[in-house]
Chains A and B, each alone.
Chain A
Amino acid sequence: MEEFTYLLFLTVLGITFLAAAAYFVYFISQDKRIRRIARMVMVTSGILQTLYILLRYFLAGHTPITSQHEAVFFFAWATTWAYLSFRWRYTVKNFGTFVSVLIFALVLISSFSEKNIDPLLPALQSAWLPVHGGVSLIAYGFLSLAFCGGLMYLLLERELKSKKFGYFFPRFPSLDALDQLNNHCLTTGFVFLTIGIVTGSIWARQAWGTYWQWDPKETWSLITWFVYLVQIHQRFTVGWRGKRAAVMAVVGFAAVIFTLWGVTYLLGGVHSYAG
């Protein structure tokens, strides 16, 4: 069974790479047929990722977000479905290229860590695990979309300001579209992030008897949450939009990544068993 799981993971890795490659080719050629293929590959990748998570769920008997491998993979899964759900409502030209590369990077990173299915630690045996962990990683999924949109915004803005129109100008959507994408994904991500922190806090009360204990991961989650809170607040009060909002989306994502990896590897704490 484990061999089959591994095979499935490799397939996911391959298909995700194919999706990124197809989007990349589309980005260069702007051939709409290639975009259709890329989308199909991306959906396939999303389905296979779901299968892989389900398989691990049944093998382990709990939501597979307890090891570094599982958390990062779940992050990739959340990003994929956040993107696909976003795509369903909005069209943002060539957004898929950036997102597919990020998803592939996440799956690839997850492949480097230990893939064993270990028995669940007593502290994690709770119904809050899928709620807190899952919701937090879904928040990361949306925030990573905002990051991709922010990057695109900065690249296009640079060309518009410097008046040197190169590769991105004809391929990118309007600044306004990217700013709206940023706003949409940040707001959605922020809501999930808030739910993630609140549920984590409730769970902590049940597990350790205290809502908050300034564990490094908790602290950094709170810092991340504040980064996004300030951003959303400023957007609606003084109009932090455009370039500033894009920079903040990138900065916020750096905080997310630090909370996910930096804390685990550098600071330790009660969360360090997982991502």
Chain B
Amino acid sequence: MPGENIILLGVNHKNTPVEIREQIAMSGGYEGPLLALKGVPGLREYYLLSTCNRVELLLVADPLEDVEDRVIDFLFGSRISNEIARKYLYLLHGQDAVHHLFMVAASLDSMVVGEAQILGQLKEAYRHAAHFGCTGPLLNKMLHKSFSVAKRVRTETAIGSSAVSISYAAVQLAKKIFGNLKDKKVLLVGAGEMAELAAEHLVGQGVGEVVVANRTLARAVDLARRFKGRAVSMEELVSQLQYVDIIISSTGATEIILHKEQVKSVMRARMNNPLFFIDIAVPRDLDPRLIEIDNVYLYDIDDLSNVVEINKSERDKEAVKAARIVEEETLKFLNWYQGVSVSPTIQALKKKIDSIALSELERTLAKMPQVTDADRKTLVRMMEAFSAKILHDPLMYLKSESCSGRDNSDQKVTIVRELFGLTRENDER
């Protein structure tokens, strides 16, 4: 694409194992990384999406600068070398990047295809990027477009009807282990949105009680009230294991919060009744060795995706329809982009001025049969110089950097196109 590079790079649950994702998961929120990225030269616009399954950056970069390596270094720091990082992350340009963004927004790239959660996360990420002044006209347009694509997919296909978030898989597994969930108790560790959603689902299946453990007790109490359950402090975590059956953990902790030995010591008191752990935190909260204990079942976020796979076939048909919509919208967007981007405008402007000059010259020469070939060449050169001089200022205007540092080429293109009456095909605005 001319004028600028659209680049999308990131890691997700499909391409990257959780061990690698843990290295870059941003638990500290958007502010830090967004502001840090301001220092990367050649980055005109960018936004960052960080969910439990993916970290993605969408960039509009200067074509002359090599921003990719710098951004990868920024993501992984010194923890993983650039070469290894490139093996795990996906790096998309231009049309592919736009297509991917739309796929994500429409929830076609999600672990549970059709879940609505991702769109909310995308909007939130965009809000942050806009708040810190990281987005510009192109990203604004692209992201707004992605929201409308998601909406179109949702209204025109049945993709969302059978799908729910990750909690669907959790419920299915719980049923495979416990059969009936009626008298089972759920412990939420950490009061994140995902855990809440999973708990909501389990309550929908009739679980007996919800217990919430959280670092800030007030938040735990709030959440517990919602489920008519009770709140406990984080220190009571191990002792609570004796009374509950399903544990959903989603804290922002960077270390393991529950070790194998701690759980093992509880099993006897539980008379070996099964315990089902769901670890939806990245980095993980629970010791992966828990699975070695008899009657203990542990699933992290990647494991749940396998369960989801089994249910996928039903949705596949709708997904084909949805993918077609995304394809269509991607092409529409690119057409629009061609219309507003600087280079095509420059070309269109040159073509227009040149063709006016040439046609006028032809008309005049037709009335002057006495002009020799040498004179004719001189006149043509004169007309070319004339149109080049006329074009000089508008072109400088189009190519100039704006003083605020934000790319407003979109507006400039619009002005020039209107001034010179350049027609625009497929313009959607």
Which of A's residues lie within 8 Å of B, judged by CB? Answer: 156, 160-161, 163-165, 169-170, 172-177, 238-244
Q: Would A241 and B180 count as touching, CB distance under 8 A?
A: no
Q: Would B310 and A169 count as touching, CB distance under 8 A?
A: yes
Q: Is B306 an interface residue (CB 8 A)?
A: yes
Q: Is B90 an interface residue (CB 8 A)?
A: no
Given contacts A160-B297, A243-B295, contact A174 B179 (CB under 8 A): yes
Q: How many residues of B contact A (CB 8 A)?
A: 23
- Chain A residues whose C-beta falls within 8 Å of the C-beta of B294 in the assembled complex: 242-244
Give the contacting residue for A240; candidates B272, B299, B303, B309; CB below 8 A: B272
Give the contacting residue for B179; candidates A163, A164, A173; CB below 8 A: A173
Given contacts A238-B272, A240-B272, A244-B294, contact A177 B306 (CB under 8 A): no
Q: Would B295 and A242 count as touching, CB distance under 8 A?
A: yes
Q: What's the dominant secondary structure at chain A's contact region? A: loop
| Total contacts A-B at CB 8 Å | 57
User: Which among B96-104, B170-178, B201-209, B236-244 touches the partner chain?
Assistant: B170-178
- Chain B residues whose C-beta falls within 8 Å of the C-beta of A176 in the assembled complex: 177-180, 274
Q: Which residue of A lies closest to B180 (CB)?
A: A176
- Report Cα–Cα, A242/B275, bound state, in Å: 11
- Chain B residues whose C-beta falls within 8 Å of the C-beta of A173 in the assembled complex: 179
- Chain A residues whose C-beta falls within 8 Å of the C-beta of B173 in the assembled complex: 160
CB distance from B296 to the nearest CB of A (A): 9
Q: Would B176 and A174 count as touching, CB distance under 8 A?
A: yes
For the complex of A and B, the 5 pairs showing the least CB-CB separation, nearest first, are A239-B271, A174-B179, A239-B272, A176-B179, A242-B295
Q: Would B272 and A242 count as touching, CB distance under 8 A?
A: yes
- Report Cα–Cα, A165/B308, bound state, in Å: 10
Q: Is B89 an interface residue (CB 8 A)?
A: no
Give the contacting residue for A241; candidates B295, B297, B309; CB below 8 A: B295
- Report Cα–Cα, A242/B296, bound state, in Å: 10
Give the contacting residue for A239; candidates B268, B306, B307; CB below 8 A: B268
Per-position 1/0 for B175-211, Cβ under 8 A of A: 1111110000000000000000000000000000000
Per-position 1/0 for B271-314, Cβ under 8 A of A: 11110000000000000000100110101000100110110000
Known: A170-B310, A242-B295. 13 other contacts (CB 8 A): A160-B177, A160-B297, A169-B310, A174-B178, A175-B177, A175-B179, A176-B178, A176-B274, A238-B268, A239-B271, A241-B273, A241-B295, A243-B294
Give the contacting residue for B299; candidates A163, A175, A241; CB below 8 A: A163
- Report Cα–Cα, A94/B294, bound state, in Å: 25
CB distance from B288 to the nearest CB of A (A): 11
- Chain B residues whose C-beta falls within 8 Å of the C-beta of A241 in the assembled complex: 271-273, 295
Give the contacting residue for A177; candidates B179, B270, B303; CB below 8 A: B179
- Chain B residues whose C-beta falls within 8 Å of the C-beta of A160 in the assembled complex: 173, 176-177, 297
- Chain A residues whose C-beta falls within 8 Å of the C-beta of B295 in the assembled complex: 241-243
- Report Cα–Cα, A177/B299, bound state, in Å: 21
CB distance from B283 to the nearest CB of A (A): 19
- Chain A residues whose C-beta falls within 8 Å of the C-beta of B176 in the assembled complex: 156, 160, 169, 172, 174-175
Given contacts A163-B299, A241-B272, A242-B294, contact A174 B307 (CB under 8 A): no
Given contacts A165-B307, A174-B179, contact A242 B271 (CB under 8 A): no
- Chain A residues whose C-beta falls within 8 Å of the C-beta of B272 in the assembled complex: 238-242, 244
- Report Cα–Cα, A243/B297, bound state, in Å: 12
- Chain B residues whose C-beta falls within 8 Å of the C-beta of A172 in the assembled complex: 176
- Report Cα–Cα, A173/B299, bound state, in Å: 19
- Report Cα–Cα, A164/B291, bound state, in Å: 14
CB distance from B302 to the nearest CB of A (A): 9
Q: Which residue of A lies closest to B274 (CB)?
A: A242
- Report Cα–Cα, A205/B268, bound state, in Å: 44
Task: List residues of B (90-125) whose CB comes within 8 Å of A's CBs.
Answer: none
- Report Cα–Cα, A227/B158, bound state, in Å: 55
CB distance from B175 to the nearest CB of A (A): 6
Q: Which residue of A lies closest to B271 (CB)?
A: A239
> Could you give 11 example pairs across A and B, Cβ below 8 Å?
A160-B297, A161-B291, A163-B303, A170-B310, A174-B176, A174-B178, A174-B179, A175-B176, A176-B179, A177-B179, A241-B271
Given contacts A242-B294, A243-B294, contact A174 B271 (CB under 8 A): no
- Chain A residues whose C-beta falls within 8 Å of the C-beta of B273 in the assembled complex: 239, 241
- Report Cα–Cα, A249/B394, bound state, in Å: 87
CB distance from B143 to the nearest CB of A (A): 36
Task: List residues of B (305-357) whose CB comes within 8 Å of A's CBs.
Answer: 306-307, 309-310
